[in-house]
Structure 1
Amino acid sequence: MKPRIIDFPKIQDPRGNLTFVQYPNQIPFKIQRTFWTYDVPGGGIRGGHAYFKQQEIIVALSGSFDVIITNADGSSEKFSLNRSYYGLYLPAKTWRHVENFSTNALSLHISSENFSKEDYIRDFEDFKNLLDER
């Protein structure tokens, strides 16, 4: 699978809109963990890693930010997230970092795995070597 934008249901109402996610209708994995990042200082960058097993969906609940995917050959792709009714699906073994946070940006991360420091790939050269082994 490749990274892709997933459109979530958007229920419009004059009192305020509602969006939801549930397995298996909107997301391709059972949710094991959720976390969010906020108060990222101006110019701050989050991420800079990949996961061996974890799949993830990132949603901009408030504000905006860019998720940069870097391939083993060094090429990159940018996904600008700024709507709370869609998310970026990232399969396992996808190198990413998040940058260009707007003021009061809030990013929600929906994960297929519980936290495990052993699941992180933090060195880009190790990441490239892992992909070369496939």
Structure 2
Amino acid sequence: MSLVDLVDLQVLGDERGQLVVLEAQKNVPFDIKRVYFLMGTRPGVSRGFHAHRELLQAAICVSGQCRMLMNDGLKIEEVILNSSSKAIFIDKMIWHEMHDFSSDCVLLVLASDFYNEQDYIRDYSEFIGLLNRA
């Protein structure tokens, strides 16, 4: 089973341009309660370095590109996000990191719940410990 659940999003359009639709419980497999985006990440800066106890997320690179690292405690997979028509789903209890942001990168993230600091696991050794207790 792959850690990287990369989904092709349907691109609609005609001579006027293109449109990508994201719909809860359709092409996004959860209700969307929060939307945010990362942009202007300085060269050499990486983001993420955490997992969530319960939160589900979908990330779409609407401009530019970045490298996503996904880790379930047993295996690590990487993928380059560089298309606004692809979404990567981040399940709960997946350690994730974002690296190598291009200068024009805009990474859009859809989340299944509101921000809750208690849901974050920011220490890798704690993450591994929680997995070993499960």
- Please list every run of at least 4 consecutive aligned residues from structure 1 whose deviation after the TM superposition is greater than 4 angstroms: none
In structure 1, list runs of 5 or more residues that go unmatched: none
Alpha-carbon separation, structure 2, partners of 1:123 and 1:6: 29
Cα-to-partner distance string for 1:12-67 (whole Å, 9 max, x where unaligned): 32221110110211011000101000000001101000000100001000000011
What do you get for the CA RMSD once the two structures are aligned?
1.3
- The whole-number CA distance in structure 2 between the counterparts of 1:13 and 1:66 is 30
Report the Cα distance in structure 1 between the residues aligned to 2:35 and 2:4, rounded to whole angstroms.
19
Q: Is the 8 A contact 2:4 2:77 kept in 1?
A: no
Shift of 1:70: 2.3
2:61 corresponds to which residue? 60
- 1:104-125 per-residue CA deviation (whole Å, 9 max, x = no partner) reads 1000010001000101000001
Q: Does the aligned pair in 1 maintain the 2:10–2:20 contact within 8 Å?
A: yes
Secondary structure, counterpart of 1:126 in structure 2: helix
Q: TM-score under structure 2 normalisation?
A: 0.94
TM-score, normalised with respect to structure 1 = 0.94
Deviation at 1:3, TM superposition (A): 3.6
Distance 1:13 1:83 in 2: 19
Structure 2 residue ranges without an equivalent (≥5)? none
Q: Which residue of 1 aligns with 2:132?
A: 132
Letter in 2 for 1:9: Q
- Correspondence for 2:47: 46
Matched residues, number: 133
Superposition deviation, residue 6 in structure 1: 1.4
Tell me what 1:95 maps to.
95
Contact 1:42 1:101 in 2 (8 A): yes
2:111 is aligned to: 111
Deviation at 1:8, TM superposition (A): 1.3
Residue by residue, what CA displacement relative to the aligned partner does 1:74-109 show, whole Å, maximum 9, x if unpaired?
x42101101101110011011011011111100001
